[in-house]
Amino acid sequence: MMYKKKPSHARTVAAYILLILLTFLCLFFFYILIVNATRSHAQLLKGFSALPGGHFVENFLHVANDGTFPMIKGIVNSLIVSGCSAAICTYFSALTAYGLYAYDFKLKKAAFTFIMAILVMPTQVTAMGFLRLITNMGMYDSLLPLIIPSIASPAVFYFMYSYLQSSLPLSLVEAARIDGCREFATFNRIVLPIMKPAIAVQAIFSFVGSWNNYFVPALVIQSKDKMTVPILIATLRGADYMNQDLGKVYMMIFVAIIPIVLIYLFLSKYIIAGVTLGGVKE
């Protein structure tokens, strides 16, 4: 008989110590951010402190009531841009991946190669052409140029395509067609529920990426009432020495990460489901 070798006690202890250390490193900087958000500008200039201060409410009121700094409007703008970008990015990427996976046509390989070629092209290379295009289309200084390009996301498409290869048997699609289900209905009612874990993962990444995006909004947005959170934080950090308030900067950063944490908590159950999801047998 073959017996499995049980892990030694020392190895288990070492694994737990490593996990505790990694957890501490991940949470330490988040803790320091919260601590700095509770300290005043004068206290922050004195240097590092692991103990929280008593200026949390004061810093929040300074940020919220600053007439030259539209915090609430910036958060709303970022929520609109990030939410819409994540929704259309995941849906249309999943739809494109399904089209290339479930259909056979002459240019299938060429289309896949073209999409992968776009993946390696940096955003900065096409920035000037993109800016000229949206200016000619009358969309300069609006939120639309931050949302519409999210439809085409090669990285999300490739993830969705790989997920379909491992989780969606074509016999399921054929069975739906035989039963008279239309193509869009097949995708929306059968394929999308199977892809929930993959969509949740990419929705988080897309939301966070759009929320933290600074380059494109700084290139496109000029009006203060249309600025997103990264631009507002950069505005606070770029203030001159006499007007700079580090307490407001850390408070704004703290407020900016709250929606990201909430989105992760809301979608984390789908990520866990994706880890435990077994393949569908034909």
Q: Where are the domains of the chain?
A: 10-54, 66-276
pLDDT at residue 243, as a whole number: 62
Query: Cα angle vertex 218, ends 217, 223, to 5°?
Result: 85
Closest by Cα among 137, 155, 149 to 85: 149
Q: For residues 14 and 20, give the distance between their C-alpha atoms in angstroms, rounded to a whole number.
A: 10
Written as one string, the DSSP assignment of the chain is ---PPPPPHHHHHHHHHHHHHHHHHHHHHHHHHHHHHTS-HHHHHT---SS--S-HHHHHHHHHT-TT--HHHHHHHHHHHHHHHHHHHHHHHHHHHHHHHH---TTHHHHHHHHHHHHTS-GGGGHHHHHHHHHHTT-TTSSHHHHGGGG--HHHHHHHHHHHHHH--HHHHHHHHHTT--HHHHIIIIIHHHTHHHHHHHHHHHHHHHHH--HHHHHH--SGGG--HHHHHHHHHTS-TTT--HHHHHHHHHHHHHHHHHHHHHHHHHHHHHHHPPPPP-
pTM strictly above 0.85: no
The CATH number of the structural domain formed by 66-276 is 1.10.3720.10
Looking up tokens 């939301």, which residue turns up? 207
Amino acid symbol at 127 = A
The rounded average pLDDT for each run of 10 residues, N- to C-terminus, in the chain (282 residues) is: 60 89 88 88 81 84 77 88 93 91 86 86 79 87 89 88 86 85 86 86 88 88 87 73 74 86 78 54 42
Task: Name which of 97, 92, 223, 263 is nearest 164 in CA terms.
Answer: 97
